[in-house]
Amino acid sequence: MRHIAIIGSGPAGYYTAEAALKQWGDDVRIDVFDRLPVPYGLIRTGVAPDHQTIKKVAMRYEKTALTDNVRFVGNISIGTDIEIAQLQSLYDAVVLATGAPRDRALGIEGEDLPGVHGSAEFVGWYNGHPQFAGLAPDLGAETAVVIGNGNVALDIARILAKTAREFAGSDIVAHALDGLNASRLRRIVVLGRRGPHQIAMTPKELGELGELERAVPIVEPGDLPPESEDEALDPGQRKSVALLRQFAQNRVRDKPLAIEFDFFASPVRIVGEDRVRSVTVERTRLDDGRPVGTGESYDIPCGLVVSAIGYRSVPIPGVPFDEKQGRIANDDGRVGDRLYCVGWARRGPTGTIGTNKPDGFAIVEKIAADMPDAAGKRGREGFDALAAERGLDIVTFRDWKRIEEAETGAARDGAPREKFTDIEAMIRARD
């Protein structure tokens, strides 16, 4: 019998578990660990609450989680409750699927001012992550600046712009909905250091901005390259740029809130004393595809800044870490002796949810090559003995289903659930 520990219950973790089941069938036992009492990682706390169709991928993970060979081990913090080296002594292989939960720093003056947030914490706030539920961002200002030109930046702008009615059917948490309902925002500026041809935004997310009740997306026509140059783009990029060209025709601001795309704009300083008051931006130009400053600068008065420029993994005690890349140091997924990493922890925050499926299957193939025979480890039995000795309070998948039932029962009309945002409340719901 092979015993595998997977650290992280998001897409990378469950795709890896699925691959291990297909590789070894009944000859494998898999424990999927998570520091939260609830599974699914970014599916629960990262995917936008108004994108319920995307969240349905969790049904696939549930099918894997409900097999006899797979166990969810929630409410266990690796590095605190148990060390990686101890897991290695208990399991034939340990796979790190811990993602990239930390924001990349802007690296500019003023980024630590009150009113400046990273996208991980801001998204965690409106998605009910226990770590960020108490964030309470100030939405009383007239202008918010969102830094970044990817889908996360679009999600944040869209969530800030929506009306309460537009959140029908979503699982946005109550405290965020209340805060957004009281918002006084009239302007959302989306900053990008490069131009429309370099965005990492997909057509679906861009198209949603054109359908908002109270907000109109604005693009300056002069920021757009000649339309003939669109032919060099891939089909998805062409669709995205076509939408930007449509937004450039929105010269009449007939809605109370504007979402302004400010391309060729690099933030160089965030200004304020007790809190953020403005962002100083330098105009850029492209030099061989790279943004370089022109020396021309201007200020954007604002009371809220959200940085969505990417993520980093969190170092784990006893695991080599690549500080420059912001991920676990690895050789194509191999970290050490029977220690592996997968997903964002392996490659950095790139790709879609589905990208983690082939990644998980590839890692299992490497484990199979490295481990043709079981090593005779104790696996689950050994961990349970250690957990009992230390008094660890494990949350199982059966426990999670009781938590889920309580969240479903507490949902407001039309919503799929009302998430618990407090770990102790989750534990009480399990009991």
**Tens digits of residue pLDDT in 120-135:** 999 999 999 999 999 9
**Separation of alpha carbons 283 and 192, rounded Å:** 10
279 lies in the same domain as 156: yes
pLDDT of the residue at 239: 97
Q: Could you read off the pLDDT of 260-274 as tens digits, one per residue? A: 999 999 999 999 999
Q: Is the pTM of this model over 0.85?
A: yes
Which letter does DSSP use for residue 104 in this model?
Answer: P
User: Domain boundary at 261, 281, 310, which?
Assistant: 310
* Tokens, residue 247: 């937004």
Q: Band the pLDDT of 374: cuts 50, 70, 90.
A: confident
Q: Using CA atoms in the order 102, 103, 106, 108, what is the torsion angle rounded to 10 degrees?
A: -60
127 lies in the same domain as 235: yes
pLDDT of the residue at 254: 84
57 lies in the same domain as 117: no
Quick check: 169 pLDDT over 90? yes
237 lies in the same domain as 327: no
Q: Render the burial of 64-98: b for 16+ CB within 10 Å, e for the rest.
A: bbeeebbbbbbbbebeebbebebbbebbbbbbbbb
Residue that wins the pLDDT comparison between 75 and 375: 75
216 lies in the same domain as 334: no
330 lies in the same domain as 301: no
Residue 424 neighbours by CB distance under 10 Å? 10
Quick check: 399 pLDDT over 90? yes
Quick check: 373 pLDDT over 90? no
196 lies in the same domain as 232: yes
Q: Using CA atoms in the order 392, 131, 55, 155, what is the torsion angle rounded to 10 degrees?
A: -170
391 lies in the same domain as 414: yes
On average, the pLDDT of the chain sits at 96
pLDDT of the residue at 352: 87
Q: Could you read off the pLDDT of 78-114 as tens digits, one per residue? A: 999 999 999 999 999 999 999 999 999 999 999 999 9
What CATH number is associated with residue 85?
A: 3.40.50.720
Residue that wins the pLDDT comparison between 115 and 254: 115
* Three-class SS state of 351: coil
275 lies in the same domain as 186: yes
Question: How many residues make up the chain in this entry?
Answer: 431
User: Containing domain of residue 94, as a range?
Assistant: 2-101+313-430
Q: What is the pLDDT averaged over residues 2-21?
A: 98
89 lies in the same domain as 126: no
Q: Band the pLDDT of 250: cuts 50, 70, 90.
A: confident
Q: Band the pLDDT of 253: cuts 50, 70, 90.
A: confident
Which three-class secondary structure string do you get for 295-331?
EEEEEEECCEEEECCCEECCCCCCCCEECCCCEECCE
Q: Could you read off the pLDDT of 400-419 as tens digits, one per residue? A: 999 999 999 999 999 999 99
User: Domain boundary at 291, 310, 329, which?
Assistant: 310
**Separation of alpha carbons 199 and 105, rounded Å:** 20
Q: What is the pLDDT averaged over residues 64-77?
A: 97
Q: Band the pLDDT of 372: cuts 50, 70, 90.
A: confident
270 lies in the same domain as 326: no
Q: What is the pLDDT averaged over residues 160-172?
A: 97
Report the domain count for the chain.
2
Q: Band the pLDDT of 285: cuts 50, 70, 90.
A: very high
Q: Could you read off the pLDDT of 314-359 as tens digits, one per residue? A: 999 999 999 999 999 999 999 999 999 999 999 999 888 999 999 9
What CATH number is associated with residue 247?
A: 3.50.50.60
Candidates 180, 166, 77; CA nearest to 125 is: 180
User: Domain boundary at 261, 276, 310, which?
Assistant: 310
Q: What is the pLDDT averaged over residues 225-244?
A: 96
88 lies in the same domain as 156: no
